[in-house]
Structure 1
């Protein structure tokens, strides 16, 4: 029963696949912009892996590597999934990037009050 509900949800997401890919790209951009601004005004990066890469790759290089890798994995997953449930891939990318962008925005609003 639960499996059938999950599949129905994935199929429903797939009916909005183009919109979800656009949402994934928008949330990616918002995450990059809000993170960059947050670091510029003194907020700290909380992801230890990002902190590990920053001294070596710089901010732009770190973003390029990590976001490109995430998109590559997402496209590979999308390519190998049955077409009727592929909509979960852009949704799975958009959710964490959207949460990060909202979190960053809330933190930035707090320092500007």
Structure 2
């Protein structure tokens, strides 16, 4: 038995194309970014502290602009690396950005709920 030329091709449900999926993932990036930034600054306003040292430094040094610059840098790295992937795998880039920010927003909400 030979596996030469064999490969698996995964299909997305319905008529969803990888391009459609990537667009949806970029929308999640925008939502996750907003959720993380808003919950971070609400938490800071309530007396909580930023646990990420890079974000803490950016916020302490430059406030909201520092935090947005840090997020913009992360998105820029993703956009630069995106063309290195085959089109079918490109949704991984925005998903990799959105997921940690969504988790951070969830943690922020939990911490805020403990303070309120």
Q: Give the structure-2-normalised TM-score.
A: 0.80
Which one of the candidate residues 65, 82, 107 is aligned to 2:111?
A: 107
Which one of the candidate residues 7, 15, 40 is aligned to 2:45?
A: 40
Partners of 2:22 and 2:94 within 8 A in 1: yes
Taking the aligned partners of 2:58 and 2:88, their CA distance within structure 1 comes to: 37
Partners of 2:59 and 2:67 within 8 A in 1: no
Which one of the candidate residues 66, 80, 83 is aligned to 1:76?
A: 80
1:79, CA displacement in angstroms?
A: 2.4
SS of structure 1 residue aligned to 2:35: helix
- Give the aligned partner of residue 28 of structure 1: 33
Q: Give the structure-1-normalised TM-score.
A: 0.81
- TM superposition outliers: structure 1 runs of 4+ over 4 Å: none
SS of structure 2 residue aligned to 1:32: helix
Instruction: List gaps (5 residues or longer) in structure 2.
Output: 1-6
Choose 1 or 2 for highest CA Rg: 2
Instruction: List gaps (5 residues or longer) in structure 1.
Output: none
1:62, CA displacement in angstroms?
A: 1.4
Deviations 1:28-71, CA, capped at 9 Å, x for gaps: 100000001100110011011222333322x2121122001001
Q: How many pairs are equivalent?
A: 105
